Amino acid sequence: MSSGAPCVWENNTERIIPLEPCTVVIIGASGDLAQRKIIPSLFSLFQNNTLPDPFLIVGCSRTKMDDSAFRDKMISAIDRKNGPHSQKRELFFQSLFYRSIDYKNPESYKKLAELIERLEKDRGMPANRIFYLAIPPVLYETTARMLGEARLSEETQGGGWSRIVVEKPFGKDLASARHLDGILHQYFKEPQIFRIDHYLAKETVQNIILFRFANTLFEPVWSRHYIESVRITAAESLGIEHRAGYYEQSGVLRDMFQNHMMQLLALTAMEPPSLFEADRIRDEKVKIYRSLRPFPVDRLDDFIILGQYGPGAVNGRIVPGYREESGVNPESLTPTFAMMKVFVDNWRWQGVPFFLSSGKRLEQKRTRIVIDFKEVPHAMFRRTPGGDIPANRLILGIYPKERISMTFQAKTPGNRVRLRPVTMELPYYLENDMPVFDSYEKVLQDCISGDQTLFWRQDGVELCWSFLQPILDACETCSDRPDKLHIYSAGSRGPEAAGMFSLKRLKNREQTCNESLLSPGRKRPHGTRF
């Protein structure tokens, strides 16, 4: 998953494959996502000479603008990320165009198709197109249909390709996810559909696979025989910002667990693929989703903690509680924090609890995976100073500390036998002289090259919704729903109940095995057509 243009190896020599010329069509180009992420990321790629030559960027949205006004609007977006005197900015703008459209009007898409064809002809470019849906999810279905009816989804016999990029959420439940997929597949084939999860494009997330499967030292102990528990945390210090309408309908489970948290779980728990290829990797992820133990919805308090942030202070700044945010129901029961305990019922992980937690308005923004190994089987140093030996711990830091750290025991220097914990760390970017792309730069480059390794496949989407749907139904319909929502202060570490919950150990490990893959009455998620 290296940054830069695609490459192949011939006689142990890396050979760069240039990206094919293409047109990137940003639908919703006047919106926040396009200005904060997409256009600045495309410009960064251009500055680093990793966009194809030639290329076109066509923005379109409801807003009435001409090309010049659109370019002026993008100046501030680019300067915020790259500085006010960005090199090559004027040259970049020569490939930037705009067309206002009505999302529900077929005639708008016909005129868009005519514009794209004319621009491609003027520059002698093939009909290679990427349609990035930077629009609210409620418009995905309509836009995909309009693109199809305008024949913009068709791939030409001469080699021209068409791809559609969809941001999460992929539906709001299993039924809507399947419905959206059905609409997309009316006009686009599966290899044409790129479902983005920008977490997967983070350098340190990609590194999980290499760390696990390129080191003989760790793979043999990566199992129930040596690991006591796994904790995956994605904490945010921000609140809902201006997304009250979306968040009130989603909550933390739909917003984070159905996608980001499930991907981090799969990367941590998956088996090694036979080859480092997109579908081989996604096959192994799907196996993990199929192996998730059905959630015990009749015992919610033992397996999930939900919370909602109240007023507090973040980084010394007083902030309102969730119910005081603009656009939020003053009596809202939408959770902004969740911690759940899940199990993977397979040979490698049977009985090992995975604690997944994510929340908003927490003490700090932090994403990491903590592997707690088992304690030594015999306390032979119990009579020596410092003889209470904590278990080894491995931390895969994703943000803000992008590093790998391992804690283990060693002797304290001196003439007495005394133990002390020491930590060995590897900063991820140590001695790196290669350009580092952010997550959106990476996924955009992969869309252009056609590499789907870092993107969701529909069977994975449906299996994750199948696992999460009973939890959502139980949490949203239980009679004591207000009592299950723990209020925590903004700027804290989350609900106090979550701290106790994550420290719980199974009273009887045998009990866990008895609730395994062969439990009576167990129902597995239905597979998909893939």
- Coil, strand or helix at 360: coil
DSSP symbol at 243: -
DSSP symbol at 387: -
Q: Can you read off the two tokens belonging to residue 272?
A: 């090694």
| Nearest-angstrom CA–CA distance, 357 and 323 | 21
DSSP symbol at 393: E
Q: Can you read off the two tokens belonging to residue 439?
A: 């997550």
For 87, half-sphere exposure in the C-beta direction (CA atoms, 13 angstrom radius) is 5
- 157 neighbors 186 (Cβ within 8 angstroms): no
If you count DSSP H runs as helices and E runs as strands, how many of each does the chain have, helices first? Answer: 17, 20
Please report, for residues 151, 155, 183, 207, the alpha-carbon distance to residue 188 in angstroms, rounded to integers and kept in the order given: 10, 9, 9, 31
CA 304 to chain centre: 21
| Nearest-angstrom CA–CA distance, 413 and 185 | 66
Torsion angles phi and psi, residue 513, rounded to 5: -65, -30
- 172 neighbors 249 (Cβ within 8 angstroms): yes
Nearest CA-CA partner of 343 in 451, 227, 251: 227
Task: Supply the DSSP string of 434-503, one letter for each residue.
Answer: S----HHHHHHHHHHHT--TTEE-HHHHHHHHHHHHHHHHHHHH-TTHHHHEEEEETTBSS-HHHHHHHH
| Nearest-angstrom CA–CA distance, 268 and 271 | 9
Catalytic residues: 260
| Nearest-angstrom CA–CA distance, 211 and 369 | 13
- 493 neighbors 499 (Cβ within 8 angstroms): yes
Spell 105-133 as b/e; 16+ CB within 10 A means b. eeebbebbbebbeeebeeeebebbbbbbb
Q: Can you read off the two tokens belonging to residue 446?
A: 């992969």
- Coil, strand or helix at 314: strand
The residue type of 90 is: E
Q: Can you read off the two tokens belonging to residue 395?
A: 């931390």
| Nearest-angstrom CA–CA distance, 63 and 495 | 43
Backbone φ/ψ region at 36: left (φ over 0), alpha (ψ -120 to 50), beta: alpha
